[in-house]
Amino acid sequence: MTPRPDSWIDTPWPDNPRVRGVFTSRQGGTSTGLYAGAALCTGASAAGGMNLGSHVGDAPQAVVSNRARLAAWLGEVRVVYLDQSHGTEVADLDRWDGASTPQADAAVTTTPGLAACVLVADCLPVLFAAPGGLAVGAAHAGWRGLAGGVLAHTLQALCRKAGCKPAEVQAWLGPAIGPRAFEVGDEVRSAFVHHASEAAGAFEATAQPGKWRADLFQLARLHLQAAGMQWSRVQGGGVCTVSNPARYFAYRRDRVTGRQAGLVWITARST
């Protein structure tokens, strides 16, 4: 089997040994053309791309192959892909029928070996873990979903599953469009500041009137804190997809591009 790419990010969960998580990159698959992997060093040829999205125009057989590679690397873990729409719906994977594609932008589960998964290309993937590995979750947070409350909804669903409080939950922020690359209009800034004045600190005015640079990572942390999480229990963030073309697909940079994944699951036993 092809070795797993070093560009993937494993997510450690302090004091939560039954939980595993990973953020994939564009490296390690079989996709070509616009969905290929980019060279990691000058002069190196691009390897196949690890596009996991079946809705972006990539060859269907390449997506099937890439998902099979991911499954092989994960071993006995089964991935549940979602039909995402930039909304706030949270799927309960414990009720999954084993065949359909849930229509949601987040998912939670208490079932060992079942991975909650979101696909992204600039939007922010957020992984959650309840204490003791009782439940895990993943959320797809673009600005619309984030402003709509997708992180709070996911956190609430996770806490109901695990019988815990938000302050006990851990979270990881994955690679997403960074504040130097994410330019938005007044309507986006207003969508956040209208509900929480402190969100204004996540926006920086540009030289163009009505245009702002937005820090999606900071906005996510503010939303998680407002939902009851402790700031210190939110890890990750700061890795920009747009400015790392060798490692990540980025919709704002390339428009036609693949999707990488954020996944989290509960192991069968503590290791």
Of 27, 20, 23, which is closest to residue 4 (Cα–Cα)? 27
CB 6 within 8 Å of CB 259: no
Query: What's the DSSP call for residue 41?
Result: S
Query: Which tokens go with 46?
Result: 């691009």
Helix axes 216-226, 150-162, angle to 10 degrees: 40
In terms of DSSP bridges, do strands 183-185 and 136-141 run parallel, antiparallel, or are they unpaired? unpaired
Query: Block means of pLDDT (10 residues each) for the chain, length 271 residues?
Result: 88 96 97 86 66 98 98 96 98 97 98 98 98 98 97 98 98 98 98 94 97 98 97 97 97 97 89 46
Given the candidates 1.10.10.10, 3.40.50.410, 3.60.140.10, 3.30.565.10, the CATH classification of the domain at 10-266 is 3.60.140.10
**Element at 264 (helix H, strand E):** strand 260-266
Of 19, 174, 2, which is closest to residue 73 (Cα–Cα)? 2
pLDDT of residue 67: 98
Of 83, 23, 89, 85, which is closest to residue 260 (Cα–Cα)? 23
pLDDT of residue 82: 98
- Phi first, then psi, for residue 83 (nearest 5°) are -95, 95
Of 79, 240, 63, 90, which is closest to residue 152 (Cα–Cα)? 90
pLDDT of residue 3: 83
pLDDT of residue 177: 98
Instruction: List the beta bridge partners of residue 172.
Output: 127, 235
- Looking at the chain, how many residues does it have? 271
Burial 77-95 (b: 16+ CB within 10 A, else e): bebbbbebeebbbbbebee
